[in-house]
C-alpha cells in the first residue's frame, strides 16, 4: 500500500491560547509517535498546498471565508474570538488554507492513482465548521471541502463520509443534508457539544447517538449492522474519514471507552468497503482527540491499518 501523509509546518502555528486543548502539540505528538513506532519510513510524506478561495467556497460562503481572512490578527500573541471555543491567531488563515489544501491534494492523488490512501495531519480541524461560520475549534470544514472537490472537480457520483469523532459532525451534516450523493455515517456521544437537535430522518444521514460509557464492542456492532450495509448499498467511489480520536477511553473531553484496536478494526472495515467499491480510495482527515498520548497511539493504529503495517 502507498499511504501518504499530508501536512504543513503552518499547521503547527495556528493556536488558540495556551489553555486550549486543540493545540499544536497534538500534531507534534503524532509525528513523534510515527517515528518511535518505526513506520515513518514506510509512509509518503507530502507538503500540503494552499487551497484557493474558489475551492473553499464550494463548502463555505464568501462571508465565512472573509471572516477568517480579515479577522486573523496581524500581531503575535493576539487572538480574535470567533466563539467561546474558537479563536484565530496570526497564522490561522494561512494554516486553514493548508489544512483544506492537504485534503484536496489527497483527493487528487488518490484519484490519479498516485497513492492508495492518505491521512491528512492538519490543523485547524474542521467537522463542526458550518457553511456560514467557524465553530467548535473548527475554522473551515476540511472534509466537506474535500468531498465537494471530489464531486465537482472529479465528477464522482457517490461519496461516503465516515465520522468517528466523539462529537457530532454538525457542519458536515448541514453541508450535505440535502445531497444524497453523499452518504454520511457516524456515531457520537449523546449530550455532548454541539448538542444536535433531532431533525428529519434522511436515508443518506446515518449519525447514531450513543451513551457515555459505550465500549468498542457496541461500536463494532453498529459498524457491522448499520454502517456496512448502508455503505455497501451506497457503493461509494471514495471514502472520506473525519478521524477524531476523542472517543478513546483516556480522552478528557469525551466519555466513551474506545481503544486503539477499535480504531484499527474500524479502519480495516472501511478499507474492505473501499476495495469493493472505490478502488481502495480513502482520504482520512484529523479531527479531535485531546489526550496527547492516546491521540498519538490511536492515529498510529489507524495509519498502520491504512498502510497494512499492523504486524510491524
Map residue 182 onto helix, strand or coil: strand
Which CATH number is 239's domain given?
3.40.800.20
Is 311 domain-assigned?
Answer: no
Task: Give catalytic residue positions.
Answer: 128
Domain residues for 268?
A: 3-306
Q: In this predicted model, what pLDDT tens digit does every residue of 93-116 receive, in sequence order?
A: 999 999 999 999 999 999 999 999
Is 312 domain-assigned?
Answer: no
Which residues in the chain belong to E strands, given as ranges? 3-7, 44-47, 80-81, 87-88, 117-120, 159-163, 182-189, 205-210, 238-243, 282-286
Give the strand pairing for 159-163 and 182-189: parallel
**Number of domains observed in the structure of the chain:** 1
Is 147 domain-assigned?
Answer: yes
Angstrom distance (rounded) from CA 203 to CA 98: 33
pLDDT in tens, the chain (312 residues): 699 999 999 999 999 999 999 999 999 999 999 999 999 999 999 999 999 999 999 999 999 999 999 999 999 999 999 999 999 999 999 999 999 999 999 999 999 999 999 999 999 999 999 999 999 999 999 999 999 999 999 999 999 999 999 999 999 999 999 999 999 999 999 999 999 987 778 999 999 999 999 999 999 999 999 999 999 999 999 999 999 999 999 999 999 999 999 999 999 999 999 999 999 999 999 999 999 999 999 999 999 999 999 887
Q: In this predicted model, what pLDDT tens digit does every residue of 224-274 receive, in sequence order?
A: 999 999 999 999 999 999 999 999 999 999 999 999 999 999 999 999 999
**Which residue bears the cell 471507552?**
257
Amino acid at each position: 500500500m502507498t499511504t501518504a501523509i499530508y501536512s504543513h509546518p503552518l499547521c503547527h502555528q495556528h493556536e488558540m491560547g495556551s489553555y486550549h486543548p486543540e493545540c499544536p502539540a497534538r500534531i507534534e505528538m503524532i509525528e513523534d509517535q510515527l517515528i518511535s513506532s518505526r513506520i515513518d519510513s514506510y509512509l509518503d510524506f507530502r507538503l500540503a498546498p494552499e487551497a484557493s478561495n474558489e475551492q473553499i467556497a464550494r463548502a463555505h460562503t464568501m462571508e465565512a471565508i472573509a471572516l477568517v481572512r480579515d479577522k486573523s490578527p496581524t500581531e503575535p500573541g493576539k487572538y480574535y474570538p470567533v466563539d467561546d471555543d474558537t479563536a484565530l491567531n496570526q497564522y490561522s488563515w494561512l494554516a486553514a488554507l493548508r489544512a483544506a489544501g492537504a485534503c484536496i491534494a489527497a483527493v487528487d492523488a488518490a484519484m490519479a492513482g498516485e497513492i492508495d490512501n492518505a491521512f491528512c495531519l492538519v490543523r485547524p480541524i474542521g467537522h463542526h465548521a458550518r457553511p456560514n461560520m467557524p465553530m467548535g475549534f473548527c475554522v473551515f470544514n476540511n472534509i466537506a471541502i474535500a468531498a465537494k472537490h471530489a464531486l465537482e472537480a472529479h465528477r464522482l457520483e457517490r461519496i461516503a463520509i465516515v465520522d468517528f469523532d466523539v462529537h457530532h459532525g454538525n457542519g458536515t451534516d448541514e453541508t450535505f443534508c440535502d445531497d444524497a450523493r453523499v452518504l454520511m455515517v457516524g456515531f457520537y456521544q449523546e449530550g455532548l457539544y454541539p448538542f444536535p437537535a433531532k431533525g428529519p430522518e434522511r436515508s443518506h444521514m446515518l449519525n447514531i447517538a450513543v451513551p457515555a460509557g459505550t465500549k468498542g464492542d457496541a461500536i463494532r456492532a453498529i459498524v457491522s449492522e448499520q454502517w456496512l450495509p448502508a455503505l455497501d448499498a451506497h457503493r461509494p467511489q471514495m471514502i472520506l474519514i473525519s478521524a477524531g480520536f476523542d472517543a478513546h477511553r483516556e480522552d478528557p473531553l469525551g466519555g466513551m471507552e474506545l481503544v486503539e484496536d477499535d480504531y484499527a478494526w474500524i479502519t480495516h472495515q472501511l478499507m474492505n468497503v473501499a476495495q469493493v467499491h472505490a478502488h481502495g480510495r480513502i482520504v482520512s482527515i484529523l479531527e479531535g482527540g485531546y489526550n496527547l498520548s492516546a491521540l498519538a497511539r490511536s492515529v498510529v493504529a489507524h495509519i498502520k491499518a491504512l498502510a497494512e503495517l499492523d504486524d510491524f
